[in-house]
């Protein structure tokens, strides 16, 4: 469970940005060119219902190990990826050759990729032989401290029902039309040529459609600025945060929604990201996205073939929002913390700037294992606590933590 402990500590550090936005990585700008590959053929094993795949949550992303061309690979289950992709690093090691160049629309902008032929991909009871795979140079900031080499997308998943049991941290693939548990049913469909999973949300009594359902996005809910202005809920404090997509760094506004609904299923205390109207959701004609941060409060069945998403409350249906009380989003670089972003309206807003480096917290130097140490909790500590932060160029500053959004 080392990955899970590391991820929890990263949230406490305020480096959520390093993990949150890896969604819809490969929404193609144009149809993929033909690749000289064996025709793709997929099937489910006869015992697929028994083939649960264990996973760990890191930054609310579903990470697991599976087989690609007979090699074990670390993977993310990502319905926001329209075409399954492999890292260029793994492709080189496995002898997967880039054959045809292309481009994809991603969080942060357009990115280059290559297409190659693949022999065999296995995910639980699903086996696909032949077909193509995208090859990408994945920015390590997108997936946090632990590298990932395979992004399992809608081209593999959409023909089947995907059941995610967040309580037991396992998932499986079933024949479309199966209903293994009871819950609230919401519409789910695939968007034409993009292959994105689309559903609906109700905020303040207003229905928002479509919204992208993205298991690879670690955030809870994202809305476009236009959709947010129409909620009638735009009265609470709003701050800023950054995140990383394959297309680069993205800054968005962040607030906390007291409540929303997916059909008749309520959710309270939901972190909302407000994306510019030039952002990814708007470019795909969507009002926003539902990410793993909200999905993890439920048992989930995604079955676009049957036109439905089924949600049932999980044991941790009240999974709390982790809020920064410092306003400093940082990442570790050796024996120091580098400030990535200073959140608007936060206790740090007046005196801190991105690029500053911290070498000690309350007199304690930054250890190599900082991410998994108790020291990392200072950034989301109790309001009213004063933290002493020593800058690497010498002076020490005091920062009093506060609830600011």
- One DSSP character per residue, 92-138 reads HHHTPPP-EEEEEEETTEEEEEEEEE-SEEEETTEEEES-EEEEE--
Q: Which of 26-40, 154-168, 210-224 has the lowest mean pLDDT?
A: 26-40
pLDDT of residue 34: 61
Q: Confidence class of residue 334 from pLDDT cuts 50, 70 and 90?
A: very high
Does the structure show a pLDDT above 80 at 92? yes
Domain residue extents for the chain:
2-172, 177-313, 328-400
Q: From residue 15, how far is each of 235, 238, 243, 404 by CA, in Å?
A: 26, 18, 9, 18
Pairwise CA distance, residues 108 & 178, whole Å: 37
pLDDT of residue 21: 39
The CATH H-level superfamily of 328-400 is PDZ domain (2.30.42.10)
Q: What is the mean pLDDT of residues 208-224?
A: 94
Residue 158 and residue 149 in contact, taking contact as beta carbons nearer than 8 Å: no
What six digits make up the tokens of 395?
A: 């002076």
pTM of the model: 0.88
What six digits make up the tokens of 400?
A: 């009093």
Q: Confidence class of residue 106 from pLDDT cuts 50, 70 and 90?
A: confident
Question: Where are the alpha helices (H) located in 284-396, listed in sequence order?
Answer: 292-295
Pairwise CA distance, residues 252 & 229, whole Å: 14
Per CATH, the number for 2-172 is 2.40.70.10
pLDDT of residue 103: 85
Question: pLDDT tens digits, residue range 199-212?
Answer: 999 998 899 999 99
Does the structure show a pLDDT above 50 at 230? yes
Common-topology check for domains 177-313 and 328-400? no
Pick the more confident residue, 320 or 85. 85
In the chain, pLDDT over 90 holds for what percent of residues?
71
Q: Confidence class of residue 9 from pLDDT cuts 50, 70 and 90?
A: very low
In the chain, pLDDT over 70 holds for what percent of residues?
87
* Collapsed DSSP state (helix, strand, coil) of residue 33: coil
Question: pLDDT tens digits, residue range 126-135?
Answer: 999 999 999 9
Burial grade of 258 (CB within 10 A; 0-12, 13-18, 19 or more): exposed
Does the structure show a pLDDT above 50 at 20? no
| Sequence-distant (≥ 6) Cβ neighbours of residue 326 within 8 angstroms | 14, 346, 347, 348, 378, 379, 380, 381, 387, 399, 401
Q: Indicate the class that CATH gives domain 177-313.
A: mainly beta
Q: Angle CA(290)–CA(191)–CA(175) in degrees, nearest 5? A: 85
Question: pLDDT tens digits, residue range 29-87?
Answer: 445 556 667 889 999 999 999 999 999 998 888 999 999 999 999 999 999 988 999 99
Q: What are the two backbone dihedrals, phi and then psi, of residue 334, each rounded to the nearest 5 degrees?
A: 65, -120
Cβ atoms within 10 Å of 384's Cβ, excluding its own:
10
Does the structure show a pLDDT above 60 at 124? yes
What six digits make up the tokens of 104?
A: 């994809």
Q: Confidence class of residue 337 from pLDDT cuts 50, 70 and 90?
A: very high
pLDDT, the chain, mean: 88
Q: What is the mean pLDDT of residues 139-143?
A: 66
What six digits make up the tokens of 404?
A: 């600011």
Tell whether omega for the bond before 137 is within 30 degrees of 0, i.e. cis: no
Q: What is the mean pLDDT of residues 364-370?
A: 95
pLDDT of residue 49: 97
* Collapsed DSSP state (helix, strand, coil) of residue 184: strand
Q: How far apart are the first and last CA of the chain?
A: 31
């Amino acid at each position: 469970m080392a990955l899970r402990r590391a991820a929890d500590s990263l949230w406490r550090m305020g480096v959520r940005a390093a993990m949150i936005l890896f969604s819809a990585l490969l929404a193609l700008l144009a149809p993929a060119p033909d690749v000289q590959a064996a025709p793709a053929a997929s099937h489910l094993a006869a015992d697929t219902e028994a083939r649960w795949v264990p996973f760990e949550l890191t930054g609310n992303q579903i990470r697991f190990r599976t087989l690609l061309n007979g090699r074990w690979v670390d993977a993310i289950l990502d319905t926001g990826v329209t075409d399954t992709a492999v890292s260029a690093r793994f492709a080189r090691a496995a002898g997967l050759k880039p054959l045809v160049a292309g481009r994809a629309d991603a969080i942060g902008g357009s990115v280059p990729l290559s297409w190659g032929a693949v022999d065999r991909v296995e995910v639980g009871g699903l086996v696909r032989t032949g077909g193509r795979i995208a090859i990408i140079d994945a920015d390590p900031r997108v997936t946090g401290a632990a590298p990932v080499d395979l992004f399992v997308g809608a081209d593999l998943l959409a023909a089947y029902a995907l059941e995610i049991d967040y309580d037991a941290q396992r998932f499986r693939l079933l024949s479309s039309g199966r209903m293994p548990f009871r819950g609230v049913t919401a519409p789910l469909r695939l968007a034409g040529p993009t292959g994105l999973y689309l559903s609906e949300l109700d905020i303040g009594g207003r229905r928002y459609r479509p919204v992208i359902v993205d298991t690879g996005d670690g955030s809870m809910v994202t809305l476009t600025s236009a959709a947010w202005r129409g909620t009638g809920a735009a009265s609470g404090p709003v701050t800023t945060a950054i995140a990383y997509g394959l297309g680069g760094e993205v800054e968005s506004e962040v607030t906390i929604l007291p409540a929303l609904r997916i059909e008749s299923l309520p959710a309270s205390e939901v972190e909302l990201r407000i994306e510019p109207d030039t952002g990814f959701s708007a470019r795909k004609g969507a009002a926003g996205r539902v990410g793993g941060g909200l999905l993890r409060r439920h048992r989930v069945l995604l079955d676009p073939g049957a036109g439905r998403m089924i949600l049932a409350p999980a044991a941790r249906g009240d999974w709390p929002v982790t809020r920064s009380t410092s306003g400093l989003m940082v990442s570790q670089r050796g024996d120091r913390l580098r400030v990535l972003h200073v959140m608007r309206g936060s206790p740090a807003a007046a005196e801190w700037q991105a690029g500053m480096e911290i070498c000690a917290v309350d007199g304690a130097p930054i250890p190599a294992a900082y991410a998994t140490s108790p020291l990392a909790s200072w950034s989301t500590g109790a309001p009213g606590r004063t933290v002493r932060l020593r800058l690497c160029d010498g002076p020490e500053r005091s920062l009093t933590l506060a609830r600011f959004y």
